[in-house]
Structure 1
Amino acid sequence: MIELYRLMRNKRLFMLMIGFILFIAVIGFSLSDRKGLTWPEKFIGDTAATVQQWFYTPAGYIAGFFHDIGNLRTIYKENEQLRLTVAAYSRDKINYNFTQKENERYKKELEFTEAQKKLYDYNYLIAQVVAISNDPYNRTMRINLGLRDGIKENMAVTTVDGLVGIVSKVGEVSATVMPITELNDESPDTNPIAATVMGRENESFGIISSYNQETNRLMMTRIDEKDKMAVGDTVLTSGLGNVYPRGIIIGTVESRAVGDFGLTHTASVKLAADFDHLTEVFVVEVPAQ
C-alpha cells in the first residue's frame, strides 16, 4: 500500500512537470508565430498597467510636490536678492541725485562768485545758516562765521539769487543777520538800500526802506517821474551810502505808481532770494580802499 502511494505521488509529480514544460513550450510557440495577443494576455497586461498606474500617479504627485518645494525655496532666495538689489539701487539713486544737486549748486555758486569778483573785486565768505528766529519782533538768522573769520557789522549777506540782508551783530564764531524783509522806514535801526536798475545804472535810482509783510514785496521810493524804470527790470544795489556794495541783485520791478505827493514815483519789488530755503549764504567782503 505504501509502495503504491509513493508510485502515485511520483507519477503526479512527473505529470505536473510534464504539463509545466508543455505549457512553457506552447507559450513560446505562440509568441514566435503570431503578432497579436490572446485575451488572457491582454487581461493580464491591462491589469498590470492599471495597478502600475495606481502606484505611479501618486508617486509622480509626491515627486512633483517636493520638486515644487525646491523651486519655491529658489524663488524665495531670488526674491530676497532682488529686494536687496532694489534697496541698494534706491539708496544709490538718492545719493546720486543728492550729489548731482550739490554739484550743480556748487557750480552755480562758483560761477556767481567768479563773475562778481571780475566785476567788483569782492571776496565772498561762504557761511552756513545755523538758526532762524521766528520772533515777530526780531526775525533774524544766525550764521556760523564770526570775528575770527573776518566778519564785521554792516557786511552784506547774499545768495546766488539775490540780497538776503546785512550783518547786525558779530560774535567770535557766529554772527546775526538782519534780513531785508525786516526793513521798516519807521525804525531807527533800518539801513535803507540805495538801488538802481541793471543796464541803466547811471539813469535809474530809488531808495528801498520798507517791506510789506502782506504783499511780501519791497517798496522802492524816491523814483524820479522821468526815470525809465519799468516793470520787469532787475533791481540792483547801487553802492551809494557805503553800506550795501554795488551790483548785488535785489529783485524785479513788479509795478510802478505815482507817489503820495505826485512828485516822485514808487515801485513794488519782488524779492530775488528765496527766504524759505536758506541753508548757505555769502558774506560780501569789500576790499579796503
Structure 2
Amino acid sequence: MLKVFKLFNNKRLFILLITLVLFIVVMGFSLGARKALSWPENFLRDTTGFVQSLIYKPAGYIAGFFEDIGNLHDLAEENERLKITVAQFTREQAQYNFVQATNEDLMEQLNFTKAQKLMYKYDYHIAQVISLNTEPNNSTLVINLGSKNGVKPNMSVISVEGLVGVISEVSNFTSTVKLMTMLDINDPNSQPAIAATARTKENQTFGMIESYDPKTKMLSMNKIAPNDPISKDDVIVSSGIGGLYPRALMIGTVESVGVGQFGLTRTAIIKPAAEFQDWKQLIVVFRSEATE
C-alpha cells in the first residue's frame, strides 16, 4: 500500500515537472522572434477582435450620434448667418443702382431730418415660422418674433428671394404676417399697396403693386405712366415712396405690359420673386428708427 502511494506521488511530481518544462518551452517560443503567430494565438486574437468589434462599433456610432447632435446648434447658427448674408447681398444688389453716396449728398442738400435719413438704414432679423394659414381669404403665417424682439406692425417680411408680406399683428413673443397673396386694394383687410419701380430705371419708372391674382399667381402693377420705359423682364423693387415699405426690396419680374384701366395708364403683370410655400424661416426688416 505504501509503495502504491509513493508511486502515485512520483507520478504527480513527474506530471508537474513535464508541465513546467512544456510551459517554459512555450514561453520561450512565444517570446522569440517569429514571422507568424501560432494557431492558438491567431484564434485568441481573432476571437478577441470580433468581440471588440461587436462592442466598440455600436459604441462608436452612439458617440458619433451624440457628437452630431452637439454640432447641430453650431450648424443652425451658421445657417442663420448665411441666410442673413444672402438677404443682404440681394438687397445691396438691388440698391446698387440707387447710387447711395449721391443720395446721401442730396439728403444733406435738401436738409433731410435725422428721422428721414434713418428710414433708409435697416437691419435683418431671422424668424422661425411657427404656423401657416392658407385659407383664400386669410393667407397669413405666424413667426416666433414679437414685441419683446422689437417687432412692430407694418414691418416688411422677406425671404431670401423677395418680399413676402407685412406684419399685421404683434404679441409679446409672436407676430402674424399678412402675405402678399392677400394684396387687393378693394379689400379693407388687405395689406397696403406697394410703391414700386424698376431696377436701373429708378428715376423713370413708377407704379403701384395693388393686387394679386390667385389663379395666375401674378401681381398687378398699376398707375404706370404711358411714357414709362418699363418693359418685359425688368426687375421690380420697392421704391420706398410712402415710407411703409423699405426701399429696394425685391418684388418680382415683369411678365408683360398692357393698357391700364380707362386706357389712361398702363399695367404690368409681375411674377413674384418669392415663392409662396411652406417656409421654415423668414426675415423681418428692421429700420433704424423702428429699433430706437
TM range (shorter): 0.5 to 0.7
* 2:85 partner amino acid: L
Partner of 2:244: 243
Q: Point out where structure 2 has 5 or more consecutive residues left out of the alignment.
A: 1-45, 101-119
- Counterpart residue number, 1:208: 209
1:1-289 to 2 correspondences below 5 Å:
103=78, 106-113=81-88, 116=92, 120-190=120-190, 191-275=192-276, 276-287=278-289
Give secondary structure in 1 for the equivalent of 2:262: coil
Deviations 1:80-110 (A, max 9, x none): 9999999999xx99x99xx989856742522
Contact 1:125 1:285 in 2 (8 A): no
> Counterpart of 1:229 in 2: which secondary structure?
coil
* Compared CA separation, residues 218 and 179, structure 1 to 2 (3 A): same
Structure 2 Cα separation of the partners of residues 101 and 226 of structure 1:
49
How big is each residue's C-alpha offset from its partner over 1:26-79, in whole Å with a ceiling of 9 and x where there is no partner? xxxxxxxxxxxxxxxxxxxxxxxxxxxxxxxxxxxxxxxxxxxxx9xx99x999
CA distance in 2 between counterparts of 1:272 and 1:102 reads 26
Q: In the alignment, is the contact (CA less than 8 A) between 2:84 and 2:126 conserved in 1?
A: no
1:283 Cα shift?
Answer: 3.3
Alignment size in residue pairs:
226
> Runs (4+) of structure 1 moved beyond 3 Å?
77-89, 99-106, 114-120
Question: How much identity, in percent, do the aligned residues show?
Answer: 37
* Cα deviation, residue 186, structure 1: 1.1
Q: CA deviation at 1:285?
A: 2.8
Distance 2:77 2:88 in 1: 16
Q: Which amino acid aligns with 2:186?
A: E
Residues 131 and 229 of structure 1, relative CA distance in 2, 3 Å threshold: same
Query: Alpha-carbon deviation of 1:142?
Result: 0.5
How far apart, CA to CA, are the structure 2 residues paired with 1:255 and 1:202? 21
Separation in 2 of the partners of 1:136 and 1:112?
A: 28
**How far does residue 230 in structure 1 lie from its aligned partner after superposition?**
0.9
**1 CA distance for matches of 2:85 and 2:59?**
38
Cα distance change on mapping 1:83 and 1:145 into 2, 3 Å: closer
Distance 1:85 1:258 in 2: 69
CA distance in 1, matches of 2:144, 2:245: 21
Which residue number in structure 2 is paired with residue 67 of structure 1? none
CA distance in 2 between partners of 1:209 and 1:195 (Å): 10
SS of structure 1 residue aligned to 2:181? helix
- What letter matches 1:209 in structure 2? E
CA distance in 2, matches of 1:284, 1:272: 21
**In terms of Rg, which structure is larger?**
1
- Is residue 126–residue 283 contact of structure 1 (8 Å, CA) maintained in 2? no
Structure with larger RCO (C-alpha < 8 A, sep 6+): 2
TM-score between both structures, scaled by the size of structure 2: 0.62
SS of match in other structure, 1:243: coil
Distance 2:221 2:211 in 1: 8
8 A Cα contact 1:219 1:268, kept in partner: yes
Q: 1:125 to 1:104 in 2, by over 3 A?
A: closer
Alpha-carbon RMSD across the aligned residues, in angstroms, is 3.6
Gaps of 5+ in 1: 1-70
Q: Deviations over 1:103-140 (max 9, x none)?
A: 56742522533765996420222211111112332111
User: What amino acid sits opposite 1:251 in the alignment?
Assistant: G
Q: 1:256 to 1:86 in 2, by over 3 A?
A: farther
CA distance in 2, matches of 1:202, 1:210: 23
